[in-house]
Amino acid sequence: MGATPFEYRLDLEPEGRLDVADLRQSVREVNEMVGHYQKTLFCSSHTTAGFFEQSLGSRLGRNQGVDGFLQLIQELFPQQADYKFGRLGQKAGNAASHLRYIGAGLRNCVTYHNHIDSPVYFVDLDGLADDGEPRKRNAAVLGYDEERVVHEETLPIPVSMHPIDSVNLRGDQVGLFEKLRELATTHGIEKGRIDLTLDADERDAGLTVNLYETLLMQNDLREVLRDPLRFLSEKGRNLLRDAKRRDPVAIANKTIDYAKYDLVTVVNQLFDVTGFNESFIERFIARFVAVPADRLFRMKRSVSYLVSDLGGSSSEIVQGTDQSPILLQWRKSESQSRNVRIRLVQFA
């Protein structure tokens, strides 16, 4: 058996609205002990700040492509687009931050292998409050050597007949979190992880962890799943309208699909900073132009939660106040349900 898992909390302060921090050095400074373990789990309790998976973080880090990747996501979700979530008194930029989080495939909970020297990027997409002050951010850090699966089962999740829909898996009507808490308590998990994964047979669906608010999930996100270039196109239309006002003769006969043109420009910039090969970029662009939601975004098929006793309660599922696991679909399920695999893991 490995050493006893070691866990602590890391307080973070973003330096701007968009802030990217590599936590490797912070982890070493706080406690070098974590680096002696085989694996480290990182957990964010926020809905606009999270982590890249290790493979993507490593690729972007080697090629200094983090800025280019995030620029692409920012282009897809412009700061001041007409988000319905903004009509609740929320700033449009806040809606953009949530959608960017989902589109970039950021995770609330990731596990890194310590023998791979890759950056641990904590990406904050909304690091400043309305008054310009940095938000208070924190991350759980847990080092461990081994993990053992103590329970697995498949749970059918009811979905509507709407082809594009989202389901809040934290909602009382689903009953998922009651079941997860019961499982963690029954198995006496002090340090562990819960994995929720779509069944291998499920298609045209994904999972994310974010704020479940009706206008955001049932309107803005639905618009994105229906037309992934929707907000980028809106930006283009606005720019063309402004250009017509300045020079109507020169612009009148232009029929450029601005969104796709701008996308190619951004992706070319991404290629320059990441070093991705040309065939990858060609496939990437083709996916965007064809606009299938499952290929457009880094849509995930699984999400995870840390189970911990650090807060004083045994078998506690670590989660932020607004964090909900959300099941998304962009094509209807004939059975009106989606099978989600539950896996409970214990650390040692």
Q: Which domains, ranges and CATH numbers included, belong to the chain?
A: 6-228+292-347 (2.60.120.460)
pTM for the full model? 0.81
229 C-beta neighbours (distance < 10 Å), count: 21
For the segment 121-176, what is each residue's pLDDT rounded down to a tens digit? Answer: 999 999 999 889 999 999 999 999 999 999 999 999 999 988 888 999 999 889 99
pLDDT of 268 > 60? The answer is: no
Confidence at residue 147, expressed as pLDDT on a 0 to 100 scale: 96
Among all chains, which residue has been given the structure tokens 């004939």? 334
Report the pLDDT averaged over residues 13-23: 94
Q: Which residue has the higher pLDDT, 67 or 108?
A: 108
3-state secondary structure the chain: CCCCCEEEEEEECCCCCCEEEECHHHHHHHCHHHHHCCEEEEEECCCCEEECCHHHHHHHHHCCCHHHHHHHHHHHCCCCCCCHHHHHCCCHHHHHHHHHHHHCCCECEEEEECCCCCCCEEEECCCECCCCCECCEEEEEEEECCEEEEEEEEEEEECCCCCCEEEECCCCCCCHHHHHHHHHHHCCCCEEEEEEEECCCCCCEEEEEECCCHHHHHHHHHHHHHCCCHHHHHHHHHHHHHHHHHCHHHHCCCCCCHHHHHHHHHHHHHHHHHCCCHHHHHHHHHHHHHCCHHHHCCCECEEEEEEECCCCCCCEEECCCCCEEEEEECCCCCCCEEEEEEEEEEEC
Q: Over the chain, what is the mean pLDDT?
A: 81
User: What confidence category does residue 303 fall into, taking pLDDT thresholds of 50, 70 and 90?
Assistant: very high
Q: Which residue has the higher pLDDT, 275 or 322?
A: 322
User: What confidence category does residue 297 fall into, taking pLDDT thresholds of 50, 70 and 90?
Assistant: low
- What is the rounded CA–CA span in Å between residue 254 and residue 240? 9
User: What confidence category does residue 91 fall into, taking pLDDT thresholds of 50, 70 and 90?
Assistant: low
pLDDT of 274 > 80? The answer is: no
Confidence at residue 311, expressed as pLDDT on a 0 to 100 scale: 79
Q: Which residue has the higher pLDDT, 129 or 29?
A: 129
